[in-house]
Structure 1
Amino acid sequence: MTDGNITTGANLISIGTSTANLGTVSHTDGSVIGDIRRWFDSNTSSNVVFTVGTVDYYRPAYISYTTAPTSGGTLTASFNASDPTMNGLTLDDGGNIIEATAIEGYWPINAGDGLAGGTYDVDLTATGLGVIDYTQLWLLKRANAASPWTLNGTHETATGSNEEPTVHRNGLSGFSEFAVGGKAGALPVELVEFNAACENGIVKLNCATISEINNDYFIVEKSTDLIHYYEVSRIKGSGNSNSLKYYSALDKKPFFSQSYYRLKQVDYDGTIRTFHPIALKCDNFENSEPEILVYPNPFNSELNIVFDNISECKAKIEIINEMGKTIITQEAYIENSAYTEKLDLNKLPPAVYYLKVIAKDQVFNIKVIKQ
C-alpha cells in the first residue's frame, strides 16, 4: 500500500494463497477498512502486519509467533470502530489496575484454514486515541463481544508516543478480540457509564467517569438516524479528577420514534472526543406533542425538516423572507412519525428566512439562516 485507503465492504483482502505461498506486504500510507487475511506456516514468524484502520487513522496489528504453530493456516484481522465496552473491568495485572478501555474501537483477529497451536506476541498501534500517558496503556483480550475483557499473556510497556502509542502483549495463545485499556489518567476521560431511561415522557440520561483530565464540559446530543444530531444540553465537567463523578441531564422533548443519544467531551483547549451512541425507544409518549426540527441551521444549500410524532398526513411548507413575503411553497406527505423532508434551497440568496409548516391543523414557525 502506497497511498489511500481500501474499503473491503463484504469482501476481504487475502495476502498469499497457502502455507507454501505466504505473500508479503509493503506499506507506506493508507489503511484497509475491513478484513485482511494472511497466511502462516508452521514456523515462527516476526512482525507480520495487518494494515487495518479507519478513514482517518492507521491502526495496524502485528503478530509474531515465538513458538511455532502446530499447523499452518490463516489469520483474518480488522479494526472495528465501535465501543469495545468495559465488560470485565477493572482488571488487576500484578498490582496495575486497568480501569477503562479506549472507546475508539477494537481489533477482531480470528484463526482459520487449520491454523492451530503455538504462542505469539501481539502489538497494536492505536493512533488518534487522545492518550494522556501512553506508558499506562495495556493490551486486553476477550473471547467475543459478549465476553468480559481479560489479561492473557504477559504485559510489556507500551512504546511510541501519546499521539501514536503501540501496546504490547507477549506469550498469548488463541485468537479472538483485542483492545486498548488504560490505568487511571492514561485516557483523557474514562467513561464507566452512560445510559438513558424513559420516565413520564421525559428521557433521563446518566453518565459517570472515573478519571478526567482537562475536561471542560460534556455535550449531550440526540438523533433519529445516527447521522444528524441535535444538542440536548451541556454539562460542566470536573476539570481534573481521579475519583468517581456522576452527571445527569434531561431531555424534556424526546423524539417519539427510535432515538440515539451520545456524549461529546470538550477539553479546555477545544479538543472534542465523541463517545459512541446508545439507543432508546420509549413506549409511553402517547401524550407527547408533535414537533418540527430543522438541520443544519444555518444551512448552505439543503435544509432538512424532521416531523416528529406527526402521523401520516399532507403538510404545507412555506419559506418566507424578512419582508413577510412567501417565496417558496410546496407540499410534503408525512409517511411516518419520524419523517424527514429535504428542501433544495440552493438558489436562495444568503439571508434570514422563516420556515412555516402546516400539518394536522397545527402551525410551526422556525427561523432559518441561509449562509
Structure 2
Amino acid sequence: MSNFFSENFSKLPNSKTSIFAIMSGLANKENALNLSQGFPDFKSDYHLIELVNRAMLNGYNQYAPMPGVYGLREAIAEKFEKLYQEKYNPETEITITAGGTQAIFTAITATVKKGDEVIIFKPAYDCYEPTVELVGGKPIAIQLDPESFKINWEEVKSLINSKTRMVIINSPHNPSGKVLSKEDMQQLEKILKNTNILLISDEVYEHIIFDSQKHESACLYPGLKERTFIIASFGKTFHNTGWKMGYCAAPAYLTTEFRKVHQFNVFSVHHPTQVALATYITNEQNYLNLGNFYQQKRDFFLNLMKESRFKFIPSKGTYFQLLNFSDITNENDFDFAKRLTIENKIATIPISVFNEQNLDTKVLRVCFAKTEETLQKAAEILCKI
C-alpha cells in the first residue's frame, strides 16, 4: 500500500526532508554546536515578551481578524511610509501571516496555475520550488554566478515567454548575503514592463544589511510595486523565529487573491503577538539598529576566522556567512558538513542543496546570529580544521 500511495498520489514525489531539519537533527544527536539553521541563540527583547504577555492577560486570546489585527497592519503601513515613502492601504493591501514561508506559499498558490513558469534564482530558499511544483507550475531555475552571486539579466530576458507567470527574488539573499542594487532592480523593472508577470520579493532580511548599503525594496520601483507581493518576517527581525510571524504587502487586486487562499490556509495567526507587535514596531529603533547589531557579529566572527583555512567574502546582508573549503578537502559539501558535525561537533549547511542540479562549489553556510561566546567556540573549532 505504501508504494502504491507514493507512486500514484504524491504531488511532490522528489521532495525530501529539508536540509535544515537534517542538519539540526544531526547537531542534536551529536551534541554539536549548531550554526546550521538560521535562528539566534540569544533572547528576544524582554519588553516585547512583556507586551505579548500583557495582551494575553488583557484577553486577546481568541481568533484575530483574518487579515490581521488592524493596528498592526496600520503600523506596518506607517513603517513603509517612514522607510520608503511608499503607501500601502492597511485595510486592503497588508495581510499578517504565520511567518514568511506561509506568505510565500500563499502568494504562489493564489496566482500560479498548472503549466505556468516561475523564474527562480539559485541557490534559493528551499520552499520556492516545491510550492511551484505543488500547484502544477514549472520552476525555471537560473544559477547565480558561484562567486559573485550576480544575476545575469540577459539570461532572465531570454527566458521570459508567454508562459512566464512569476519571478521570485530575494534580497538580502539567503544563503549568499548578496544585496540587489538599484541597477539590478531597474533592470528587472525594465524586463517586466508591458507584461502580466507577477513578482515575489522576499525581503525578510530587509533590516539586516551591512557596510552602509541600502535595501532596494521592490516597492521603490513603480513598475515592480504594481505587480509585487513583498514578503517580510517579524521572526527574523526580532529574534523570535519560533513565533512564526510575518506579513505580505501587495496591491489590492493581488491581496484579494492572496486572502482567498490565506483564509483557508491558516485563517488568522497568533492574536496576542499581533497586538504586541502593533505597539513594538512604532519605535523604529527596534529595527533600524539591526544592521549595526549584526555587522558587529559578522566582523567579530570573521576576524577570528582569518587564521582558518576557509576562504570567504564578507556577507553584505542577512545573518549568514559562506565559507569556501576548497583548500581543505575535495569531499562534496554534504559529506563534509556531515563529517564536521560528527567529528568536529559543529553543524553547518551545505550549499549544493540550494543550487541547480546540486552544483557543488565547496561552500558551507554558517549562521552568525549567535552570542560572542558561541561564535568564539565555533571559530576555535573551524580554525583547527
* Shorter-normalised TM range: under 0.3
TM-score (norm 2): 0.21
TM-score (norm 1): 0.22
Q: Which structure shows the bigger proportion of residues in helix conformation?
A: 2
Q: Which structure shows the bigger proportion of residues in strand conformation?
A: 1
